[in-house]
Amino acid sequence: MGEWFRNRWSSLGERLRWPAIGAGGGVLRRVPLWGGGALVLVVLALGIHWSDEPEPFSVRLNTSEKLAAGGSEEVIGTATTAAMIRVAETLLEKPGGYLSNDIMPPGVYLDNIPNWEFGALVQLRDLSRAMRESFSRSQSQSTEDPDLIIAEPNLHFDNSRWILPASESEYREAVDSLYSYLARISDSGDSDAQFFARADNLAAWLEDVETRLGSLSQRLSASVSQNRVNTDTAGEPAAAQSTPGAAEIQVQTPWLEIDDVFYEARGAAWALMHFLQAVEIDFAAVIADKNAGASLRQIIRELEASQATVFFPVILNGSGFGMFANHSLTMANYLSRANAAIIDLRNLLESG
């Protein structure tokens, strides 16, 4: 048996050995083999590199850099706008660029980072809508900002479109509009562009954040099969729904989608963490007046903890109290705690 293995190994080595120059047509026959092997290795290496999640950034430093580039000074709203720009630029300029619409390898076979991109993009879309509808307007009858009229719908463009137009081109136009808005609000001579830091508009945006985190935490928890009581109309005696639902429902995330939901939640938490750090700067007076600083800092702390390094090459999906970890349940824990703190913060803003 040992002799047989040695002969087979020797035969394989002879076939793969690079022939000497002048050895005939063997070189030409093996060039495609070696070239294809090298290409596969390059694609795999690029895929590993492109799968690295972007690092967190300093919101204060980012604001200073963005304002210094335009020769502007920091005012109310610059931290939030600069954070939006940085998150959008990260989606477009991280290693590999924007991957959600790739049609060529390695981007086409990667799914972790595209789901991370979608999670961050949803948070960016929600904040851009809040910027257009409330942060930049003094009241419901005031006019919308012309730059945000462009930025908000562009960020809602199809995230998987690769041509005519590509998603990246729409998002870059949105970034350009945000840069224009940033320059205008920091210009003391331009009174048309404004950012209003009020408790009511901050609470309205946090209500959207609350529903997003609630949905993500439920989807993460569904990595383990659960029987849930249907609470769709709970708490409202006169509530009704279009079609009747079962009193109990069984939910479980399909096995192949578990890592997709996990990385979508990671991307959402990464973007939201920076947005709330910017809110802490721009809404400092409002937060201090409502004595809500501790609640806001707790939310940020939970989101920062959700960004800890995953020290395993795959997302584990052990049972709740089993031998193996369940990364989805761990992430759901952080998001649920952040969501609970957001509810407290919103109550303080509305009635504190």
pTM for this one? 0.87
Question: Mean per-residue pLDDT for 307-311?
Answer: 90
Q: For residues 228 and 247, give the distance between their C-alpha atoms in angstroms, rounded to a whole number.
A: 9
**Residue bearing tokens 């002799």:** 3
Q: For residues 130 and 135, give the distance between their C-alpha atoms in angstroms, rounded to a whole number.
A: 6
Give Cβ neighbours of residue 49 (< 8 Å, ≥ 6 apart). 95, 96
Asked if residue 19 has pLDDT above 70, the reply is no
Asked if residue 207 has pLDDT above 80, the reply is yes
Question: Tens digits of per-residue pLDDT, 314-330?
Answer: 888 877 677 778 899 99
Q: For residues 123 and 267, give the distance between their C-alpha atoms in angstroms, rounded to a whole number.
A: 9
Question: Tens digits of per-residue pLDDT, 94-108?
Answer: 999 999 998 888 888
The one-letter amino acid code at 268 reads A
Question: Mean per-residue pLDDT for 332-350?
Answer: 94
Q: Are 44 and 236 in contact (CB under 8 A)?
A: no
> Between β-strands 248-251 and 226-229, what pairing exists: parallel, antiparallel or unpaired?
antiparallel
**Burial degree of 285 (CB within 10 A; 0-12, 13-18, 19+):** exposed
Please tell me the predicted confidence (pLDDT) of residue 284.
96
Asked if residue 292 has pLDDT above 60, the reply is yes
Asked if residue 286 has pLDDT above 50, the reply is yes
Q: Are 222 and 251 in contact (CB under 8 A)?
A: yes
Q: For residues 346 and 278, give the distance between their C-alpha atoms in angstroms, rounded to a whole number.
A: 17
Question: Mean per-residue pLDDT for 236-247?
Answer: 68
Q: For residues 21 and 252, give the distance between their C-alpha atoms in angstroms, rounded to a whole number.
A: 60
